[in-house]
Structure 1
Amino acid sequence: MSQSEKEKSVAVIASEAPVRAKPSNYPEPFASRMAGREKRRLGELFGLRNFGVNLTRMIPGANSSLRHAHSRQDEFIYILEGHPTLMTDEGETVLAPGMCAGFAAGSGNAHQLINRSSADVVYLEIGDRTPDDAIVYPDDDLQAALDDNGNWRFEHKDGTPY
């Protein structure tokens, strides 16, 4: 299928969608902690603007993200394969295929997935794109906010930029 035919597709095989070119938006030393995670930006393929959808694969030992909480954007995950450990303020929960979890904007409940198993984990992550979002990372010297162009601006917790 040519590139122009792919652009006109109304449906795709999700696992064949292109892998996101940039593995992580985090600055170093945090970006390298995302090794072993690959995202396929499914929402981008269809020009979705109000919410994003990623098909994410994590190899054993990989993390989904740094543990974080959004001020204005909701997030939802649905496990397709594997048994990741969900880390939240309540503690650890081992998930299985068919399980899902949601994280309401402004709840302050920081979350992340860790693949502590010996097999790959595959899940869908869905999040909205509400402007003026900010992210806190309680375990790291990091905070983020969306700039006027929709790009994340990363800072130390004291406000100095990375």
Structure 2
Amino acid sequence: MEIKNINQLSDQFIWQDKVGLMTKSLGEAGGNRKIYVNIDYVPPGTYSTRYHSHSQQEEFFLILSGTGTLKLNGEEKEVSIGDFIGKPAGENIAHTFYNSGNEVLEILDVGTNEPEDTCYYPEEDMYMHKSNGEKRCFSGKDISNTWYPDPNPIK
């Protein structure tokens, strides 16, 4: 084990999109396997993620700097430095942060690394299922309610 510094992470542990949203994967850089520990940097006028819930992944968020809005199960709540929320898995608790402030919204994002998880995106009625290292996305309208794995269905 070695001590690492958040300001000296190699590029493999930093993700950034075209609008400046950035995630530093501290847990991965430190060798964690069962949990992830990220710092998310959300520029003014942008979202941290698409609005979604998890079937298996439990999460915890702490606002480190800036101000913003947490959309949680359809309700919008203002957040600022020191605010935190724990989000248990499997309860259809949809969430996203929006930076409604003038400075970068910095969020400590901690959660469980789950080999199996389904994210549901209610605004788009889309699912992303993660299993065996693969991700599959599908629309809620594509879900079959007539197929079952019974090997001997009654006709």
TM-score band by shorter chain is: 0.7 to 0.9
Give the partner amino acid of 1:148: N
Contact residue 15 and residue 55 of structure 1 kept, 8 A: no
Structure 2 unpaired stretches of 5+ = 144-155
The separation in 1 between residues aligned to 2:46 and 2:118, in whole angstroms, is 24
Corresponding residue for residue 157 of structure 1: 140
Calculate the TM-score normalised by the size of structure 1. 0.78
Report which of the two has the higher share of strand. Answer: 2
Measured after TM superposition, the shift of residue 109 of structure 1 is 1.3
Corresponding residue for residue 125 of structure 1: 109
Within-5 A mapping of 1:11-30: 11-18=3-10, 20=13, 22-23=15-16
The separation in 1 between residues aligned to 2:125 and 2:109, in whole angstroms, is 25
Corresponding residue for residue 74 of structure 1: 58
The separation in 1 between residues aligned to 2:34 and 2:109, in whole angstroms, is 14
Give the partner amino acid of 1:112: T
Work out the number of aligned pairs and report it.
Answer: 142
Measured after TM superposition, the shift of residue 21 of structure 1 is 5.5
Within the candidate set 65, 78, 90, 2:49 is matched to 65
* Distance change >3 Å, CA 80–CA 21, structure 1 → 2: closer
Contact residue 56 and residue 124 of structure 1 kept, 8 A: yes
- The alignment partner of 2:56 has SS state of coil
Within-5 A mapping of 1:77-156: 77-89=61-73, 91-149=75-133, 151-156=134-139
Structure 1 unpaired stretches of 5+ = 1-8, 25-31
The separation in 2 between residues aligned to 1:134 and 1:73, in whole angstroms, is 9
